Amino acid sequence: MDLLNTLVDKGLRRELPTREEALAVLATSDDDLLDVVAAAGKVRRHWFGRRVKLNYLVNLKSGLCPEDCSYCSQRLGSTAGILKYTWLKPDEASRAAAAGLAGGAKRVCLVASGRGPTDRDVDRVSETIKAIKDQNESVEVCACLGLLSDGQAERLREAGADAYNHNLNTSEETYADITTTHTYADRVDTVRKAHAAGLSACSGLIAGMGESDEDLVDVVYSLRELDPDSVPVNFLIPVEGTPLAKEWNLTPQRCLRILAMVRFVCPDVEVRIAGGREVHLRSMQPLALNLANSIFLGDYLTTEGQAGQADLDMIADAGFEVEGAGEVTLPEHRASAGCGSHGAAGGCGSHEDGSGCGSHEDGGGVCGSVPAAPANEARTDLVAVRRRGAGTDLAPNA
């Protein structure tokens, strides 16, 4: 397929595909799916070999959020029966992180619900970072605390944070359809603040919220322009008690095409399969490792993931290997740019002049006439609220 050969060549050169090419990946048929995976897999292996980076989530504060993000079980007005608790103490968070690190995780992601941190919250998280790094000097710590105010990213970096996560989630055009209490521009501003402070920026998307192919391409091109080091791809977990509980729009094949498109647009970036892989990829998860080079180990913020040992077995059985603590995740040209290193002076910048996202036409008919992917069967049996780990007396899943 000429399209795939072109995309592989561009991916090996870090050249931005056209919007029409990205849309065409999403429009490929199931008959062509293995060819798409094989092509994107060449780009993934070129930049990341067969290494899989493991990340571990610690939910520092669960529920009780004043924001109204439609996809989130912690949102204002949510009736989901999730765990609700206020801030974990630094030693509690450190113990939770230790379980993930013992399971092979290289990065710990410290997450707290809310619009954004107060200065006192930044102090709390700084103490937690210190507690974790005192026990595990080589661990990477990523904070995810919502919208940042001026100076807070710098304070987190001084405290030892390596990265900051704040996802764009969906396209600018449709953002107001899923959230009204803050704007898309607010999210972009926080990613830029993290970059400017010298933190490694982590920003991604959520697929499966009823968006179009054009929306998916728009958000991924926006991410390419922002130039994060990590792009988490979440697949919506439709949790009962949230406005999107009935949105079952994904098939395993659709998820694989989305991951392939992200890899082609962001070839040298850590692409992480985040929430929802067990629910929507299901038995196709090992195939997705040919596209993404990073996953979360164990459970998510408010829902359960598959057993941590099952994750490790899957990686080994698929012919991949867990990335070691001493290995550098990013390709040399990105790592040497100083992203997230404490001697860096001002983030990563763009790696080429890029000049934006291309046109917003539908691609001259490339995919405008292709019918939408059939709705996925609702698999509510695969959605389980987290009842173990942080905020409980039960051992975590790692």
Q: In total, how many domains does the chain have?
A: 1
Q: Is residue 357 part of a domain?
A: no
Residue range(s) defining the domain that contains residue 103 = 2-351
CATH code of the domain in which 257 resides? 3.20.20.70
- Give tens-digit pLDDT for 280-338: 999 999 999 999 999 999 998 988 999 999 999 999 999 999 999 899 999 999 988 75
Q: Is residue 227 part of a domain?
A: yes
Closest by Cα among 22, 37, 3, 342 to 163: 342
Q: Is residue 120 part of a domain?
A: yes
Parallel, antiparallel or unpaired: strands 270-273 and 230-235: parallel
- Distance, in Å, from the CA atom of 39 to the CA atom of 61, rounded to the nearest integer, reads 41
Residue 25 burial (C-beta neighbours within 10 Å; 0-12, 13-18, 19+): buried
Q: Is residue 108 part of a domain?
A: yes
Instruction: Name residue 307's amino acid.
Output: A
Q: Are 121 and 149 in contact (CB under 8 A)?
A: no
Q: Is residue 394 part of a domain?
A: no
Residue 336 burial (C-beta neighbours within 10 Å; 0-12, 13-18, 19+): exposed
Q: Is residue 34 part of a domain?
A: yes
- Give tens-digit pLDDT for 85-94: 999 999 999 9
Q: Is residue 297 part of a domain?
A: yes
Q: Please, what is the Cα angle at 166 between 295 and 107, to 5 degrees?
A: 35
Q: How many CA atoms lie within 13 A of 389 on its CB side?
A: 31
Q: Is the model's pLDDT at 350 over the cut of 50?
A: no
Q: What is the DSSP letter of 55?
A: E
Give the contacts of 249 (CB within 8 A, at least 6 positions apart).
208, 209, 210, 236, 373, 375, 376
Query: Which residue numbers are catalytic?
Result: 65, 69, 72, 109, 142, 202, 272
Instruction: Name residue 339's amino acid.
Output: C
Q: How does the average pLDDT of the chain come out, rounded? A: 90
Give the pLDDT band of residue 349 (cuts 50, 70, 90): very low
Global pTM reads 0.90
Percent share of the chain, pLDDT over 90: 81
